[in-house]
Chain A
């Protein structure tokens, strides 16, 4: 029996409708003022952490390298975007698009620069040079105050990162990475992770694809950086320290190296964790708890909200023990696949019934 497949145009249509529906719901929630400010801001933050995690996943998950300088690319994008927006060269609408593109392209250039030495190194050594690179960028920004505002920070950046802009960027990132990975270029990147010598002897230009993956990854990190700048309105170099790179890597590791759905889910959970804990601490149900336990529970929740780095570390340790491949391993969510399975199961059920009737 031929297996049932949902035709490609239907799949694309379905996904497009889903994306638009989510956009409408989000937009309505954000603009109507139903969400408190802190929550709305959290949604935006989740947005650029998704972009950062999905882009890092390209090098860490699919290419199988371990870069620790993602915050560096983010910083490059943030400052390029911010400086461009502040200059006010273009009217608002065009400025947003060109600024984001510009931020991405400059970051991608840095990605190529770091990608070339990275060809000679792997594993721990690559982690160390990319880490050094990230710190270099931060120090550099600190020391050219005429351009970047130095340690004082860059102020008065136009607040361009509306929900709409961030959402569109998230969608473009996820779609682009997905389309890339499901093509001959994506297979080439995966083959390098799986076995570099075999990839080369299959005629894959491993040098080209490594640099390409780095550039691609840096491009979207740059875009996320610009969104970050447009959200805060202020940039200080301290934001792009080593811990930020680690945070992004942690999202990827927790979500599952090589799973885009995992990266998205982990980004949402980890970024929202402090807010959710804070919210729970103020939840009125807790006041029904007997005696002192009410205060203890509140205290614990607030402690978690304030010390998220400790919780991240604990989560990471637990994940490494319980499920070393991360939340989703390298499984990727596909609505069409789930639907296909359901329909197939129903068809099989019918066929069995039909068979029984004949017998």
Chain B
């Protein structure tokens, strides 16, 4: 199992004796001759909030794309609730319990807010094509339950009043929230957030932090997030992994990470005269 033990020291105490919900062992990908990510090991507890940080171009989003099977890894393996994801594609990874948001928001802009969430609930509904066209009772029942569920999810984030607006017409912050709601609608075990606080002002970031905690408490799921906002990472993440040049250089609690010389070096560079921050 590689030279690091992926279990320590990230997983919070309450999740220690449970099977990690997501586990990566020696994950790596090459693009041509370039190694973008190498030897990525991590284990995330079933209710953990975990952060992934690192300088620009370190390979954070590449890791998300590997996890969600947008890219197939060159090396290593990834397990979701103990199941090997080797032969899965993006859609199957989602069905296996992985949902994500995107760094550059990818909403269904021309659809309404409600329809965006209903697309997320697609696999929660089960009626087939014939039943849809003939409008059999299964259609009505399934649609009603899904709509109620969608409104419930929207109301958690105080978005129920926007249900019939076009997603593309929402303000930026609401679009980011909607993307999270849509991801949650797919009933994931792990929620991947790619820079959720990007472009937000401090007040909005504060709201986002509350929301992320609320998600973890209400749904009892794991959250794995990429973020540059250190205030957010250090306050809500229980474990933090630091990536530089495609390799993990440190893992630990926020406090450990803050004092890790390797991390400081990665962010501020080497050289004698680093001023006291």
> Using a CB–CB distance below 8 Å, which chain A residues touch chain B?
176, 179-180, 183-188, 190-191, 193-195, 197-206, 212, 330
State in angstroms the CA–CA spacing of A195 and B101 once bound together.
13
A205 to chain B, nearest CB (A): 5
The minimal Cβ–Cβ distance linking B55 to chain A, given in whole angstroms, is: 25
Q: Does B244 contact A (CB under 8 A)?
A: no
Other-chain contact of B132, A183, A199, A330 (Cβ < 8 Å): A183
**B111 & A203 in contact (Cβ 8 Å cutoff):** no
Give the CA-CA distance A166 to B94 in the complex, in Å.
Answer: 44
Q: In the complex, what residue of chain B is closest to A182 when comparing beta carbons?
A: B132
**B108 near A195 (CB under 8 angstroms)?**
yes
C-alpha gap A198/B109 in the complex (Å): 11
**How many residue pairs, one in A and one in B, have C-beta atoms under 8 Å apart?**
96
Closest 4 CB pairs of A and B: A183-B132, A194-B108, A203-B94, A198-B106
Which residue among A176, A185, A194 has the maximum number of chain B CB atoms within 10 Å of its CB? A194
Interface residues of B (CB under 8 A from A): 68, 70, 89-91, 94-95, 99-100, 102, 106-111, 115, 118-123, 125, 127, 129, 132-135, 139, 142-143, 146, 182-183, 185-186
- Rounded to whole Å, the gap between the CB of B65 and the closest CB of chain A is 10
Answer whether A184 and B127 are a contact pair too, CB < 8 Å, given A179-B135, A200-B91. yes
B123 pairs with A197, CB closer than 8 A: no
Given contacts A180-B132, A197-B106, contact A187 B123 (CB under 8 A): no
A330 closest partner in B (C-beta): B110
User: Which listed residue (A187, A199, A203, A206) contacts B115, Cβ 8 A?
Assistant: A187
Cβ of B27 to closest chain A Cβ, rounded Å: 18
Q: Is the CB of A180 within 8 A of B111?
A: no
B16 to chain A, nearest CB (A): 30
Q: Which residue of B lies closest to A205 (CB)?
A: B91
6 further contact pairs, Cβ within 8 A, besides A183-B143, A197-B70: A180-B132, A184-B132, A198-B102, A203-B91, A203-B122, A205-B91
Residues of A within 8 Å of B135, CB to CB, are 179
Please determine whether B99 and A187 come into contact, CB atoms closer than 8 angstroms.
no
> B91 to chain A: which residues have CB within 8 Å?
200-201, 203-206
In contact, B111 and A184 (Cβ under 8 angstroms):
no
**Bound state CA distance, A176 and B134, in angstroms?**
8
Known: A202-B182, A203-B186. A187 touches B111 (CB 8 A): yes
Complex-state Cα separation, A20 to B210, whole angstroms: 56
A190 proximity list for chain B (CB < 8 A): 108, 110-111, 115, 119
Bound: A205/B185 CA distance, A: 16
Residues of B within 8 A of A205 (CB): 91
By beta carbon, the residue of chain B nearest A196 is B106
Which residues on A sit within 8 Å (CB–CB) of B106? 195, 197-198
**CB closest chain-A residue, reference B90:** A200
A201-B100 Cα distance, complex, nearest whole Å: 7
| Shortest distance from the beta carbon of B194 to any chain A beta carbon, whole Å | 11
User: Looking across the interface, which residue of chain A has its beta carbon closest to that of B139?
Assistant: A183
Q: Write the chain A residue with the least CB distance to B167.
A: A194
Q: For the complex, give the distance between the alpha carbons of A195 and B142 in Å.
A: 25
Residues of B within 8 A of A195 (CB): 106-109
Hey, which chain A residues are within 8 Å of B111, CB to CB? 187, 190-191, 194
Q: Can you list 27 A-B pairs, Cβ within 8 angstroms, ordered by A?
A: A176-B133, A180-B129, A180-B132, A183-B132, A184-B125, A184-B143, A186-B132, A187-B111, A187-B118, A190-B110, A190-B111, A190-B115, A190-B119, A191-B111, A191-B119, A194-B111, A195-B107, A195-B109, A197-B70, A197-B90, A197-B102, A201-B100, A202-B122, A202-B183, A203-B120, A204-B119, A204-B122
- Give the complex CA separation of A186 and B135 in angstroms: 13
Whether A188 contacts B122 by the Cβ 8 Å rule is yes
Most buried by B among A183, A198, A203, A205: A203
- Contact call A185/B108, Cβ cutoff below 8 A: no
Complex interface: chain B residues within 8 A of A194 (CB): 107-111
CA distance A102 to B164 in the complex (A): 41
Query: Within the assembled complex, what's the spacing in Å between the Cα atoms of A30 and B123?
Result: 48
Q: Determine the chain B residues whose CB is within 8 A of the CB of A203 once the complex forms.
A: 91, 94-95, 120, 122-123, 186
